[in-house]
């Protein structure tokens, strides 16, 4: 195809949807991540909560070594599929079956920071993709979610996703559809042509719009999920080449709690925020409010800080109010869905045996998006 024509086609296919999308005609997909080690054993109780999600991504792929993918395909499949058993295999299998009973889909999330060691080799990439397909077939997953962080190369990522799609298409044949999604940091950069090709092979992209405020690795703490920066990341960067319905917006059930430092203050030389802060779940906030912590709303970011009575500690975490603003923006702009990191950070155990547990933030947003 002529390069100019190809470039124009990429722009046409991947232009964002209009901002006045009719929310009544658009279903927002609600999804969450679950870590293998945190699966709750009482699935009869959790089943009602799982029904709130259209998709679940369970981080439960095999622990792999890049050099093993220089072996033959049969040797690879023997090691990572046929001989693989989960530590709590019966619980994992029951969890997958429970999700299916609710009518939901469950994708196996393959996380990694060194996928470049796989994808930079065409041969390794093909073998890894073939192994992934066999792995999800064994456990009856509905597809694959690739969570590639830090070392990503956009070209390698695209080629790898295309290879995985080919394997899933072959696996499903004419009888079953397998889903393919990928999670990426908000600061990735794609050309219009790369965007078009990625749109063709994935069902959607999960953009991790959290960890935007310094976390515990930066040098200056601020809001974890500021809406003004999220909007800017969409409109002022290469995400504008993607249709909005191919983009799912990351929501956080967690935040960061700091002591001995103020919002926007820079840590001394030789220090990081790890010396002052830690991760915290949104389920920690109710108790802090009982202890006298107070909220200070910030209009631009559309989120709040929470301060201890002596002002020596503060927390950045989502609230129902901050999420209302995000959900309204998501609806108005026709984004494909939302996803949560991570299911357990927001969960309140039931007070009585047999009762349903509560998600402080997830339950609130679920009710909002069901109003579509």
Whether this model's pTM surpasses 0.85: yes
CA–CA dist 152, 188 (Å, integer): 9
**What H or E segment, with its residue span, contains residue 147?**
strand 143-148
DSSP structural state of residue 335? -
Spatial separation of the C-alpha atoms in residues 346 and 358, rounded to whole Å: 8
Name the E strands within 14-70: 29-35, 55-59
The predicted structure's pLDDT at residue 13: 41
pLDDT for 26 equals 67
pLDDT 10s per residue in the chain (372 long)?
443 333 333 434 444 433 333 434 568 999 999 999 888 777 877 888 899 999 999 999 999 999 999 999 999 999 999 999 999 999 999 999 999 999 999 999 998 777 999 999 999 999 999 999 999 999 999 999 999 887 878 999 999 999 999 999 999 999 999 999 999 998 888 999 999 999 999 999 999 999 999 999 999 999 999 999 999 999 888 898 999 999 999 999 999 999 999 999 999 999 999 999 999 999 999 999 999 999 999 999 999 999 999 999 999 999 999 999 999 999 999 999 999 999 989 988 888 777 788 899 999 999 999 876
Structure tokens at 325: 């603003």
Contacts for 126-131 with beta carbons within 8 Å, 24 or more apart? Answer: 126/163, 127/69, 127/71, 127/73, 127/76, 128/64, 128/69, 128/160, 129/160, 129/163, 129/164, 129/166, 129/167, 130/73, 130/76, 130/77, 130/167, 131/69, 131/73, 131/76, 131/77, 131/80, 131/81
Q: Provide the pLDDT for residue 350.
A: 80
Burial 312-332 (b: 16+ CB within 10 A, else e): ebbbbbbbeebbeebbebbbe
Q: Is the dihedral of CA 189, 195, 201, 202 positive or negative?
A: positive
Tell me how far apart the 2 most distant CA atoms of the chain are, in Å.
66
pLDDT score recorded for residue 370: 82
Which residues lie below 8 Å from residue 138, measured CB to CB, with a gap of 6+?
Answer: 81, 84
Question: For 3-253+318-369, CATH number?
Answer: 3.20.20.80
Instruction: Output the pLDDT for position 372.
Output: 61
**Domain ranges within the chain, ordered by starting residue:** 3-253+318-369
Beta strand segments in 204-318, E: 204-208, 247-252, 254-259, 277-281, 294-298, 303-307, 313-316
Q: How many residues does the chain have?
A: 372
Question: With b meaning 16 or more CB within 10 Å and e meaning fewer, what string describes 11-30?
Answer: eebbebbeeebebeebebbb
Buried b / exposed e along 250-286 (16+ C-beta atoms within 10 A) = bbbbbbbbbeebebeeebeeeeebeebbeebbbbebe
**pLDDT of the residue at 4:** 36
Q: What is the pLDDT of residue 207?
A: 96
Three-class SS state of 105: strand
């Amino acid at each position: 195809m002529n390069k100019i024509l190809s470039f124009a086609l990429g722009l046409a296919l991947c232009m964002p949807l209009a901002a006045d999308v009719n929310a009544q005609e658009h279903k927002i997909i609600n999804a969450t991540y679950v870590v293998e080690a945190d699966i709750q054993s009482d699935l009869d109780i959790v089943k009602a909560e799982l029904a709130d999600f259209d998709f679940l991504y369970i981080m439960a792929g095999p622990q792999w070594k890049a050099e093993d993918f220089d072996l033959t395909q049969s040797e690879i499949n023997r090691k990572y599929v046929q001989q693989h058993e989960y530590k709590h295999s019966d619980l994992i299998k029951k969890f997958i079956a429970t999700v299916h009973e609710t009518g939901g889909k469950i994708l196996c999330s393959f996380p990694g920071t060194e996928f470049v060691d796989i994808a930079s080799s065409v041969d390794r990439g093909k073998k890894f993709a073939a192994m992934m397909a066999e792995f999800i077939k064994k456990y009856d997953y509905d597809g694959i979610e690739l969570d590639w962080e830090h070392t990503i190369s956009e070209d390698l990522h695209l080629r790898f996703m295309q290879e995985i799609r080919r394997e899933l298409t072959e696996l499903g044949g004419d009888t079953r559809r397998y889903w393919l999604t990928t999670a990426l940091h908000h600061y990735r950069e794609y050309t219009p042509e790369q965007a078009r090709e990625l749109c063709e092979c994935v069902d959607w992209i999960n953009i991790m719009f959290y960890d935007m405020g310094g976390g515990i690795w930066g040098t200056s703490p601020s809001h974890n999920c500021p809406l003004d920066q999220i909007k800017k990341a969409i409109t002022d960067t290469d995400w504008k080449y993607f249709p909005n319905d191919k983009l799912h917006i990351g929501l956080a059930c967690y935040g960061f709690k700091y002591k001995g430092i103020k919002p926007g203050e820079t840590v001394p030389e030789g220090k990081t925020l790890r010396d002052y802060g830690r991760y915290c779940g949104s389920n920690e906030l109710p108790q802090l409010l009982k202890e006298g912590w107070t909220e200070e709303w910030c209009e631009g970011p559309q989120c709040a800080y929470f301060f201890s009575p002596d002002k020596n500690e503060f927390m950045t975490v989502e609230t129902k109010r901050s999420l209302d603003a995000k959900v309204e923006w998501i609806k108005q702009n026709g984004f494909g869905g939302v996803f949560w990191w991570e299911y357990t950070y927001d969960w309140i155990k039931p007070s009585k045996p047999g009762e349903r547990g509560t998600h402080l933030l997830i339950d609130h947003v679920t009710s909002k998006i069901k109003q579509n």
